[in-house]
Structures are given as structure tokens and as C-alpha cells.
Structure 1
Amino acid sequence: MSWPGCSSSGGRRSPSIRRCSVPVGLVREEPRGRHRFYHLQPALLAEVSQWLHPFEHYWNQRMNALADLLDEENET
């Protein structure tokens, strides 16, 4: 998944939380001395969940069909 402004850096495979989640508001960063604490923002995560909800039924059906197919193959 690629978000604007979120690219891997420093040879890491995935972008950092700070570079992706903080600017879009999914988490809040709280610096304390040399440490940083991250807090999820449930209201925005609920919005993402609502957006994904229509796809949930589709993917549940697809995964169930795949499980049935694999069960059939294991029986033979």
C-alpha cells in the first residue's frame, strides 16, 4: 500500500509510522524526552473501517470458497 509522501527510506522495507500515519491523522505522536509514544485515533480508524465494510462481505465469500476448495482437494 502506498500513501502520498510515504516511501521506504534507509534500506527499510516498510515506511515508518511517523512518516505515514501521523500526517494523515491515524495516530498521534507524543514526544517525551528521547522517546516517542504513538496513540491510535479511533475516530479515524472507524472511518476507515466503514469505508472497507462493503468489501468485507466479498472477501469473506472468496476466502470461504478457497477454504472449501482446499478441503475438497485434501479429501481426495
Structure 2
Amino acid sequence: MDLNLRKAILSNIATNDQSQLEATIVDAIQSGEEKMLPGLGVLFELIWNQSDTAEKQEMIEALEQGVKNAVSE
């Protein structure tokens, strides 16, 4: 069986508008289910690839702070 998870995820969200995309992200995070992590990874990849250098640096800084906060909790 040749399952391309990335293509399947993109196909599932291809027609979503901004509010639907946001709802997908919020639901995935709030559910806390591990099975949602690949989908979030694909969404992050899309964001990363569409971002310029300054935006990427901002995301890295936010990620670093988030990791520090999560570890200290």
C-alpha cells in the first residue's frame, strides 16, 4: 500500500477557507491526539515554505520560547 500522507492531508484541506484552516489547527491542538501531529507538521511545512527570512526567524524565536515554557511547566 502506497500511502502518501502529505498528499492526503493537503487533499483534505484543499478547499478550506481561513476560518476552516484555523478551526482545523485549533481542534488538532486542543484534542491533544498524537494522530493529529502529522497533519500539523504538514501545515507547518506549508507556512514555513511561504515565509520569508524574517518570518522564519520570528517563528524560530516563538518556538524556542514555547519549548522553554513547556519544559519548565
TM-score bracket for the superposition, by shorter chain length = 0.3 to 0.5
Greater gyration radius: 1
Compute the TM-score of the two structures, normalised by the length of structure 2.
Answer: 0.32
Of Structure 1 and Structure 2, which has the larger fraction of its residues in strand?
A: 1
More relative contact order, 1 or 2 (CA 8 Å, 6+ apart): 2
TM-score by length of 1: 0.31
The structure that is helix-richer by fraction is 2
